[in-house]
Amino acid sequence: MDPTPVKHPEAEINATLSSCCGFLGEVTLTDSAIIILFAGMLGAGDMFSMITTSLLPLFNGICIIPMAWLAARIGSKKLIIRACTLSAIAYFLAVSSPFFGKWASAVLLTAILLFALCLTGFIAGWFPMLDSFLSRKRRPVFFSRMRFSHQLTAVLFLFLVGFAIGKEPSIWKLQLVLLIGAIVFTGRIFFISRIPVFDAQKREELGFKDGLMAAIGNKPLAGFSIYLFVLNLAAYGTIPLTTLYLKKHLNAPDNVIVIISAVALFGMLLGYFFSNKIIRHMGVKDSLLAFHVSLAFTNLSLFFIGKGNAITYILIAGLLLIYSFTVAAASIVSSSEMMALVKSDNKIMSMAFCGAFYYGGSGLSRMISSLILGAGLLSSEWHIGTMRICHYQTLFLIYTVFIVFAATFLILVPAIFPKGEYIYDVH
């Protein structure tokens, strides 16, 4: 028998608090200027630095389906707690990497790899656990509030870090920042443990093979998943690439880079806050089209910025704010659409199937970019008239073209071009 409805708001609060703790830790270690600067101090090049930001989404894409099977066997909450515990251990190993001397960069990469691998268990169990107490009407509101909250937490943290570390921080300062992130990350385990196990989290009837085949056979979900893969493949490398561009080509001070990183997170915060209003006003179809225009415009604008000074730093901060706003609003659409398209008898595997495409595209975007930079496949400099273009700017241009190309895959999105008969929970 389900717990009384009174406990559902309590579960939402604990889920939100766990998200605040976990997201702050994740961003600090895998998706902010902090880890790129930290890796650089340990002797890492462009390829290594970019790889550190790609491992979490890449492993999520690869491992989320088998982890979903495990979640269905042992329960979402139990898997989440175990996965986060192992991830926390890997996080503290990453913090200690400078103590390993010449092996420091190898230890850091190994620790981030282990962190990303273990955290796939959390990703696989997260949405099914939320679905056990989150009603259809509460989904968009909850996702907006939760993501707004965890984004605000990370933004405030990075702003404080940016003002505290100075223009040329020593490695111990960044190590201290990572240590704080690791400690806060463990709060996710505490708050998840306070969420009751609802009856909806019981084992699903379909096994691994049957569940996966059923997810593949869900044509609306499969089409939407392919669209998400292509979009993220085109769009997800922009922010870490901009960090490298600021550091290596525009010679921006480290604290300015961290503050710009915080501004980008603030853009996501605004995106989560206003996403519901945008979707209600414009509808899913027009919203997605606007998102493509915004993402392409931002990358094209970054392509034309070739000098580093106070004005261009402010301009880049503003562009990343717009970009992150768009990414955040698009993620709200993605989460709501995914939960609307899954079938009730196969939720865990269906969500994992969609997540594999979503995170796989995100991770591959950054991994491919890192390999391109590491292999030196792009010309270090070329010209358009009197304008000099470096290899970072070339990648921004490539991103622009592929984001426009990804718009052609909107024909696979059921909310835009519905095909056939299927179960669909309108938001």
- Percent of the chain topping pLDDT 90: 48
Q: Is it the case that residue 318 has pLDDT exceeding 90?
A: yes
Report in angstroms the alpha-carbon separations of 244 from 239, 307, 316, 400: 9, 14, 13, 18
- 14-23, 35-44, 106-115, 396-405: which range is least confident on average? 35-44
Share the mean pLDDT of the chain. 87
Are 46 and 247 within 8 A, CB to CB?
no
Q: Which residue has 């949405």 as its token pair? A: 127
Over residues 119-131, the mean pLDDT reads 86
pTM over 0.85: no
Lowest mean pLDDT among 20-29, 33-42, 97-106, 335-344: 335-344
pLDDT band at 361 (very low <50, low <70, confident <90, very high): very high
What integer pLDDT is reported at residue 33 of this predicted model?
A: 84
Distance CA 79, CA 66 (A): 12
Report which listed range, 29-43, 130-144, 248-262, is most confident.
Answer: 248-262
* Helix runs in 96-170, H state only: 104-131, 139-165
Q: What is the phi/psi pair of residue 111, to 5°? A: -65, -45
Tokens encoding 395: 């990648």
Phi, psi for 107 (deg, rounded to 5): -65, -40
Least confident of 107-121, 146-160, 222-236, 333-347: 333-347
Do 52 and 36 form a contact (C-beta atoms < 8 A)? yes
Q: How far apart are CA 260 and CA 314, in angstroms?
A: 8
Residue 419 has a pLDDT of 59
Residue labelled with tokens 């515990």: 85
Nearest in space to 335 (alpha carbons), one of 371, 305, 359: 359
Cβ atoms of residues 298 and 322 within 8 Å: yes
CA-to-CA distance for 306 and 388, rounded, in angstroms?
7
Residues in Cβ contact with 379 at an 8 Å cutoff, skipping those fewer than 6 apart: 391, 394
- Element at 383 (helix H, strand E): strand 381-384
Q: Is 288 left (phi over 0), alpha (psi -120 to 50) or beta?
A: alpha
Q: Give the alpha-carbon dihedral of 296, 298, 301, 306, to 10 degrees.
A: -120
Percentage of the chain with pLDDT > 70? 93
- pLDDT of 210 higher than 60: yes
Name the DSSP class of 389.
E
Judge whether 245 and 397 are in contact, CB under 8 Å.
no
pLDDT of residue 427: 39
Whether the per-residue pLDDT at 202 is higher than 70: the answer is: no
**Per-residue pLDDT at 323:** 96
Q: How far apart are CA 360 and CA 143, in angstroms?
A: 22
pLDDT at 295 over 90: yes
Is residue 67 within 8 Å of 102, Cβ to Cβ?
Answer: no
Per-residue pLDDT for 424 more than 50? no
pLDDT at 5: 47
- Considering only CA atoms, which of 30, 53, 60 is closest in space to residue 359? 60
In the structure, what pLDDT confidence band is assigned to residue 227 with cuts at 50, 70 and 90?
A: very high
Give 72's pLDDT tier (boundaries 50, 70, 90). Answer: confident
pLDDT category, 178, cuts 50, 70, 90? very high
DSSP 245: I
Largest Cα–Cα separation, the chain: 72
Contacts with 387 (C-beta within 8 Å, 6 or more apart), sequence order = 304, 306
CA 28 to chain centre: 12
Q: Which residues pair with 388 in a beta bridge?
A: 383
Residues 6+ apart with CB under 8 A from 45: 374
**Does position 426 have pLDDT exceeding 60, yes or no?**
no
| 163-173 per-position pLDDT tens digit | 898 888 889 99
For 4-48, the pLDDT digits (tens) are: 444 578 888 999 999 999 999 998 998 778 888 898 888 877 888
CA 37 to chain centre: 19
Stated length of the chain = 427
Residue 3 tokens read as 């717990």
How far CA 341 is from CA of 79, 224, 347, 391, in Å, comes to 24, 9, 10, 40
CA distances from 359 to 52, 215, 280 (A): 15, 17, 26
Q: Would the pLDDT of 3 be above 80? A: no
Q: Would you state the pLDDT for residue 126?
A: 87
Q: Binning pLDDT at 50, 70 and 90, where does residue 350 land? A: confident
Q: What is the pLDDT of residues 264-278, one digit of tens each?
A: 989 988 988 888 788
With residues binned 3-state (H G I as helix, E B as strand, rest as coil), the percentages for the chain, rounded to 5, are: 80, 0, 20
- Rounded to whole angstroms, how far apart are CA atoms 400 and 393? 11
Read off the tokens for 327.
């990414």
- CA–CA distance from 369 to each of 27, 236, 376 (Å)? 19, 10, 11
